[in-house]
Chains A and B, each alone.
Chain A
Amino acid sequence: MARAAFLLSASLSLLPGVALAAAEEPGVRITAPVDGARLDGMDLTRLVYEVRPGPKGDHVHVYVGGKEIGILRQLKGSYTLEPLPAGAQDLCIKVVNKAHVPIGVEQCVKVVVE
């Protein structure tokens, strides 16, 4: 029984679309832009994400280059970023608690703005 559960869990974790939903652990998944994407600096970029906050998380903060630029209370959706400055940029989403303290659940993607 335990072996079957392990095999099911392991096989689910190989599918990126269900990994976050299957595991009940907190997590953040940024689906767009992808890591390493090259973006046009004149375009508005949509940050598409899905979050499982876990028992300690409450909402999420969005960061560009380490600077907090947005607050999101929806656990799944998208956020339109203002035109980004040229060069390499880190786009991050962090789960925070009610006191706005990051609880260590986050994901960042690196993009290059041209």
Chain B
Amino acid sequence: MQPENLAYALAQVVHNFGAVAVVGGAAFALWAGASSSRREAGLARLVGLGWAVQLASGTGLGAVSYYYYGRLPELHPVALAALDIKIGCAVAGLAVALRFLYRAESWNEGRRKLAWQALTALGAAALAAAAFLRWFS
């Protein structure tokens, strides 16, 4: 087993679970409905943690490349645009989740729903961009 493949695989495992957390957590809150503000806060924590994990593990994948080859991946312009979208979604998703955690108590139901819609859309956009990043490189 090549150690670099193991390193890539472990970073990818973390990245995949992060993707599940950001999309699944937001979609669950939106469609299944959060029965209490405590449960909503728990889901916001999960989604926020998921986005932080996405940023860290994405950086980790680049770091593995740099460690083993001394260079970063070379990306086609389409893949580069997809990567920019993913990073933008992660930063925005983390910001919305943190804002939800600290401010949602004073928000009305409509505003909280809007936040979950935004988080679901950001997760879906990042997931779609990931496919273009994978196959246009």
**Residue positions of A touching B, CB distance < 8 A:** 55-56, 61, 68-71, 94, 96-104
Contacts and interface: CB of A to CB of B under 8 A. Distances in A.
A99 B74 CA distance: 9
B72 A101 contact: yes
B99 interface: no
A98 B8 contact: yes
A102 B136 CA distance: 15
Nearest to A69: B76
A55 B2 CA distance: 10
Contacts, number: 42
Interface of B: 2, 4, 8, 61, 64-65, 68-69, 71-77, 79, 136-137
A16 B64 CA distance: 36
B73 A101 contact: yes
B137 A102 contact: no
Say whether chain A's binding surface is mostly helix, strand, loop, or mixed: strand
A61 B79 CA distance: 13
Contacts of B72: 101
Given A71-B76, A97-B69, A101-B68, 5 more contacts: A68-B74, A68-B75, A69-B76, A96-B74, A102-B71
Given A55-B2, A71-B136, A71-B137, A100 B8 contact: no
B8 to A, nearest CB: 6
